[in-house]
Amino acid sequence: MPEPVLLKLGGSVLTRKGGPGTVRHENLAMISREIAGHARVPLLIVHGAGSCGHPEADRFRLMEGLTGQNLEGVFTTHLAVSKLNSIVVTSLRKEGIEAIGLHPLDSCYAENGRIVSMECRHIREMLSQGIVPVLHGDVVMDGIKGATIVSGDQIVSYLGRALRFGRIGLATDVPGVLAGDTVIPVLTPQTIGQVRIGSSRYTDVTGGMEGKIRELLELARSGTCSEIFHVDQTGAFLDGRPHGGTVVRGG
């Protein structure tokens, strides 16, 4: 099969992060049409949790792991992000994309906040059959902390190393990695020290733009480059046209 493309949809383009867990249905419908119009299979999609899941993870203090008092938080947080995943999958299927939701809680094992083990052979088979797997940021079990929150960006970084992708793109609510008002065209592990990273509009439990860049630099070190761009440029990325964003690559 041709090398698949991995597209990450930021939580902030799918939900309103400022308010309660509200899905931005019009944005989602627009993105789904864009993907249907420009993408070819094999394609894998990962989305962030945005405001669906972060408030629950905060309320049960899941970033600190399981404490004996917050076991219910695993179910409650997973339910919130699973509902968003189901809405995303439904929207993609409405546009004719053969999307199927896959929940990281069901297939990942982490240690101290990092995924160390995840079944991937079924994902490869889905890609080769033309199914579009749709994964997401989730709560996952953790052998050290009991449970932890794994961001969509960490899923991208893990899958980017476990499977072979031709291209990896991250659609966000900003035009790329910003230094002041200017998009940094190329970031490498060598140049990251020279720039002061602007943040995404809202912070979240998984680290916002800084967390994203940390994941992508780890991916770059293992030899896989990735691209960050504004969600309005999703079609341009899928077509392979210039998108005015940032490329994160090895030195």
Closest to a second copy by CB, 44 or 209: 44
Asked if residue 142 binds a second copy (CB under 8 A), the reply is yes
Asked if residue 66 binds a second copy (CB under 8 A), the reply is yes
Piece of the chain touching a second copy by CB under 8 A; list 1-9, 45-53, 118-126, 167-175: 118-126
Q: What phi-psi label fits residue 85: left (phi over 0), alpha (psi between -120 and 50 degrees) or beta?
A: alpha
Work out the burial of residue 231: count CB atoms within 10 Å of its CB; fewer than 13 is exposed, 13-18 middle, 19 or more buried. buried
Asked if residue 108 binds a second copy (CB under 8 A), the reply is yes
Asked if residue 244 binds a second copy (CB under 8 A), the reply is no
Distance separating alpha carbons of residues 136 and 155, to the nearest angstrom: 7
Asked if residue 100 binds a second copy (CB under 8 A), the reply is yes
Identify the residue among 29, 71, 179, 186 touching a second copy (CB under 8 A): 71
Piece of the chain touching a second copy by CB under 8 A; list 48-56, 106-114, 178-186, 238-246: 106-114
Closest to a second copy by CB, 41 or 171: 41
Piece of the chain touching a second copy by CB under 8 A; list 24-32, 64-72, 186-194, 217-225: 64-72
Number of residues lying near a second copy (CB under 8 A): 33
Handedness of CA 234, 84, 60, 140 (dihedral sign): negative
Q: From residue 212, how far is each of 86, 125, 199, 201, 228 by CA, in Å?
A: 24, 27, 10, 14, 10
Distance separating alpha carbons of residues 20 and 18, to the nearest angstrom: 7
Distance separating alpha carbons of residues 13 and 201, to the nearest angstrom: 11
Which two structure tokens, joined as six digits, stand for 38?
């420009």
Give residues in contact with a second copy (CB under 8 A). 66, 71-72, 74-75, 78, 93, 98-100, 102-103, 105-109, 117-119, 121-122, 125-126, 129-131, 140-143, 146-147
